[in-house]
Amino acid sequence: MTAPVRSNGPDQTWPHRALYDRVLDALHALPSRFRTSLRIAGISATDLFTLNTPLGAAIEASVVENLNELRDLWDPKHEYEIYSFVRQAQVFPDVRLQTTAPGVAESERILMGIELKGWFVLAKEGEPSFRYKASPLVCAPQDLLVVFPWGLDEVISGAPRLLRPFVEEARYAAEHRNHYWEVLRGVTGDPARVELSPVAKPYPSKGAQFNDEPKADRGKNFGRVARGNLMTAFIAELQEQPISGIPSKHWQAFLRIFAEGVEANVVERKLLAMREEAEKAGLTASGLDAFDKIQDGLRDLISRS
């Protein structure tokens, strides 16, 4: 099985290629313009890890609303006024740029799709845990897999804010996933086989069997894109992105220490080790100052617990 190759989106002769390019621009512009009425308060720091699932769907819905509000970016000449991004459950992709207006040819009712995922950057695993199992056969060249990392503007409380998204061709992501499963894992025989979906056209209807399935998968890991190295470089860059002056990987480590429920002396050793690691990594003076203040706050929580 040969390694998949990106197609760089739909062919340049596709009538809506310019729209596709503008949607890509809008997706990257969305974090700076993201608005939501959601606000989180009163959550224990040790419970933050549980936020991804209940909040993920609400944030993904907000992303779709915000994308429609950015219409001037992806439809500046108002050529697509009868179209809007619509989120749907149990279909692929789960966000489609579509219209229900009468008189539109069937082939033009859905112009492109986005399989949308949210990822809480302080989640325990340090990588997205979603499963992406859609077959390459059901991905149109213009379809995308988009992952929006998110956090809270006050780190452990406040309003959700989006970070730079991971954007990939949906078909390439599906082909890469299958190639990883069958070849790159180094597994042979039935455990390395993937059975392709019987559906072989884009935008399947609700209830259609549009997912590929592994022949054997005891650990239920098929489709975990982050484990297949597709997002490795993106995740590494994101972990270095500062949140309140401190790289997100350190925030994650702070919260994991408390979630583990270890004794105070063990927590202290871990905090000191983290401080040494941050200094060796070249964290700025202001970043180290913020780091120390947060650690002092954590020590205060320990002394009062």
**Both 169 and 258 in a single domain?**
no
CA distance 252 to 151: 11
Give pLDDT, residue 295: 65
Helix (H/G/I), strand (E/B), else coil: 49: helix
**Both 269 and 147 in a single domain?**
no
Does the structure show a pLDDT above 80 at 62? yes
CA distance 67 to 92: 18
- Contact between 150 and 160 (Cβ < 8 Å): yes
Q: Calculate the CA 55 to chain-centre distance.
A: 13
Q: What is the pLDDT of residues 208-219, one digit of tens each?
A: 999 999 999 988
Going by C-beta distance under 8 Å and a sequence separation of 6 or more, which residues neighbour residue 137? 196, 197, 199, 200, 201
Taking the model in full, what pTM does it have? 0.86
**Both 202 and 286 in a single domain?**
no
Q: And the tokens for 268?
A: 């202290």
Q: What is the pLDDT of residues 276-294, one digit of tens each?
A: 776 776 777 776 776 676 6
**Both 156 and 267 in a single domain?**
no
Q: Report the domain count for the chain.
A: 2
Among 52-66, 67-81, 164-178, 182-196, whose mean pLDDT is lowest? Answer: 52-66
CA distance 98 to 2: 34
Q: Which domain holds residue 140?
A: 17-239
**Both 179 and 281 in a single domain?**
no
**Both 156 and 66 in a single domain?**
yes
Alpha carbon of 258 to those of 45, 49, 198, 267, 299: distances in Å? 8, 11, 47, 8, 11
